């Protein structure tokens, strides 16, 4: 056999094995993920989870998020627009997945804000100031307070409403649910329990539309 042919055949074989293995692995993973999801569908929503939108809406978006995650911040305005656009038909449930260092403190502040009915406003402030307090080399969630003060929130009331034990328990439940559902990245979206297969704004809207078409 000519030497150049030998190398060509070897390269071709290795490439084919690589692609076949990738394809096989992917389809196995999808199958496993769907099975895992079917078994753990009760882990999608908890009573304590912050919700917005019409409570009777038949399409439910569940978002596993981290206040320190850039992609979550970028998605957030778009998700809000979708809630407005498909008003009354869509509701949003937030689940915590504080994977970043220090974001558990941010979640505890959010929990205090939830008690005062200010969850969404405080979340907006956190996203707005994210690049400052969630710096990857030096995360400093205590800086959130400065921003809350700047935007005229009642910091004293928020601090009084902080309940470390309860918030820690909620974070524990949400992280356990995230694990059970195979959530390892943020944001992770489920629409009526169906996972977003490819991660993009368009895909999320397509999935929401198809669920609206199914239920209305």
Smallest gap from residue 25 Cβ to other proteins (A) = 6
Cβ-based nearer residue to other proteins, 3 or 152: 3
Q: Are strands 59-65 and 51-53 parallel, antiparallel or unpaired?
A: unpaired
Q: How many residues bind other proteins (CB under 8 A)?
A: 13
Segment interacting with other proteins, rule: CB under 8 A, options 1-9, 66-74, 118-126, 205-213? 1-9
Q: At what angle do helices 164-180 and 103-115 cross, to 10 degrees?
A: 110
Cβ-based nearer residue to other proteins, 3 or 56: 3
Smallest gap from residue 2 Cβ to other proteins (A) = 11
Nearest to 181 by CA among 63, 23, 7, 50: 63
Smallest gap from residue 11 Cβ to other proteins (A) = 7
Q: Interior CA angle at 58 toward 175 and 69, to 5°?
A: 35
Handedness of CA 176, 177, 180, 181 (dihedral sign): negative
Q: Are strands 51-53 and 188-191 parallel, antiparallel or unpaired?
A: unpaired
- State both tokens at 138: 């030096």
C-alpha gyration radius of the chain: 21
Smallest gap from residue 99 Cβ to other proteins (A) = 12
Cβ-based nearer residue to other proteins, 10 or 157: 10
Quote the CA–CA distance of 102 and 121 in Å, as a whole number. Answer: 20
Cβ-based nearer residue to other proteins, 11 or 36: 11
Cβ-based nearer residue to other proteins, 4 or 200: 4
Q: Mask of contacts with other proteins, 4-43, x by CB under 8 A?
A: x-xx--xx--x--xx--xx--xx-----------------
The H or E element that residue 53 is part of is: strand 51-53
Smallest gap from residue 136 Cβ to other proteins (A) = 12
Which residues contact other proteins (rule: CB under 8 A)?
3-4, 6-7, 10-11, 14, 17-18, 21-22, 25-26
């Amino acid at each position: 056999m000519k030497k150049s042919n030998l190398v060509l055949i070897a390269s071709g074989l290795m490439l084919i094995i690589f692609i076949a293995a990738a394809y096989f692995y992917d389809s196995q993973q999808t199958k496993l993920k769907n099975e895992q999801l079917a078994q753990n569908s009760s882990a999608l929503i908890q009573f304590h989870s912050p919700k917005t939108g019409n409570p009777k809406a038949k399409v439910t978006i569940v978002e596993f998020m981290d206040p320190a995650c850039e992609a979550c911040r970028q998605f957030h305005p778009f998700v809000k627009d979708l809630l407005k656009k498909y008003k009354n038909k869509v509701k949003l449930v937030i689940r915590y997945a504080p994977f970043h260092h220090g974001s558990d403190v941010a979640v505890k502040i959010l929990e205090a804000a939830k008690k005062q009915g200010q969850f969404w406003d405080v979340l907006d402030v956190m996203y707005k100031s994210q690049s400052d307090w969630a710096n990857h080399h030096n995360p400093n969630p205590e800086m959130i307070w400065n921003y809350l003060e700047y935007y005229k929130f009642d910091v004293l009331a928020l601090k009084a409403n902080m309940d470390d034990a309860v918030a820690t328990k909620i974070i524990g439940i949400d992280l356990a649910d995230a694990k059970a559902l195979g959530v390892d990245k943020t944001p992770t979206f489920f629409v009526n329990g169906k996972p977003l297969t490819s991660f993009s704004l368009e895909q999320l809207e397509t999935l929401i539309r198809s669920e609206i078409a199914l239920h209305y």
